[in-house]
Structure 1
Amino acid sequence: MSRRDQYLSKRESGFNTRFGINANLSTYNALYDPSMRHFFENRGVQSHLYRTGQIDKAGRVIDLDLNKSKLMIIEKEFRNAERNESSRQKEEEEMRRRVQLKRHQALDKARKEEKLIRIKEDRKIRQEIVMATREAQGLIVPSVKTKKKKVTMKKK
């Protein structure tokens, strides 16, 4: 190692590169930098900043740290609104399901009643056919059905 290399190595060993690691530096925001003002006055840049929510309509910078609580409240309201909407939709679907079930039950009941009426009519027709066949063969003598009146005795 040459004398010059020894000198440079000694000189570098005294140089502290860890100085800035523990120092608390303030955060930099280019929107507040006066040197960048000419850049942010451009209309295209301002419309982009407005769309992304970094400035308001008047061109004032929106401090997100200060407005974080407002944003949280708005986000919470959106979540609640979404939750309410989904529960309303579930209730509506359940109501539709119940109505549809009742309609199916009513249709089934009407079909069963209609089927029962047809069965009774068919039975009545069959009985009439059997009676007519028996009468034609002379097995049964037709009789007229009359209702019997109840006779009550009066006490004296």
Structure 2
Amino acid sequence: MSRRDQFFRDREAGFNNRFGVATHLTSYNALYDPNMRHFFENSVVQSHLYRSGQIDKAGRVIDLDKNKSKLHIIEKEFRGAERAEEMRQREEEEMRRRVQLKRHQALDKARKEEKLIRIKEDRKIRQEIVLATREAQGLTSLPSPGKKKTTKKKKRAT
């Protein structure tokens, strides 16, 4: 870096453009500016300001810094309400799932019982057909369809 560059750098660092103006400028809000009053008296502008929450129904400016605590409380209540609604929806979905599961189980049970009844009826009809054909052939010494023969086995001594 040359001496000339260093000179200009030092010169620029010492430059002050404040010229006696306060170091901290006050915040500007056009809603409080009397020169802008004619603009904000327009009904279209006022309806926009009202919808955006910057003025109330009477046209008074709402100070958001003063109402931050109120807004915070309202936002907190909204978050709580949203959480409660989500929980309610989850519980409702879980309840629906349980009811649907019970319905499916009841339907499966009813189908199984119906199938079992059909199987028993088919077996009974088959036995009647076999009995009728045997009687037609002259075989009358048949065991009754409800009784089963049991055979006893002798135990061997070891």
TM-score normalised by the chain length of structure 1: 0.74
Partner in structure 2 of residue 69 of structure 1: 69
Identity %, equivalent residues: 80
Greater shift, 40-49 or 102-111, is seen at 40-49
Displacement of 1:67 after TM fit?
0.6
Residue type of the partner of 1:94?
E
Aligned ranges 1:1-156 → 2 under 5 Å: 16-17=16-17, 23-141=23-141
Displacement of 1:142 after TM fit?
6.3
Secondary structure of the residue aligned to 1:17 is coil
Residue type of the partner of 1:25?
L
Paired with 2:101 and 2:35, the residues of 1 have a C-alpha distance of 72
Number of corresponding residues: 133
TM-score normalised by the chain length of structure 2: 0.73
Indicate conservation of the 8 Å contact 1:50/1:57, yes or no: yes
Displacement of 1:111 after TM fit?
0.9
Residue type of the partner of 1:99?
V
Paired with 1:56 and 1:143, the residues of 2 have a C-alpha distance of 99
Paired with 1:23 and 1:119, the residues of 2 have a C-alpha distance of 98
Paired with 2:136 and 2:38, the residues of 1 have a C-alpha distance of 118
Paired with 2:19 and 2:90, the residues of 1 have a C-alpha distance of 61
Unmatched segments (≥5 aa) in structure 1: 1-11, 145-156
Greater shift, 14-23 or 76-85, is seen at 14-23
Displacement of 1:21 after TM fit?
9.4
Closer, same or farther in 2 for the Cα pair 1:104/1:143, shift >3 Å? closer
Give deviations 1:5-37, integer Å, cap 9, x for gaps: xxxxxxx98962256898122101111122222
Q: What is the RMSD computed on CA atoms of the aligned residues? A: 2.7
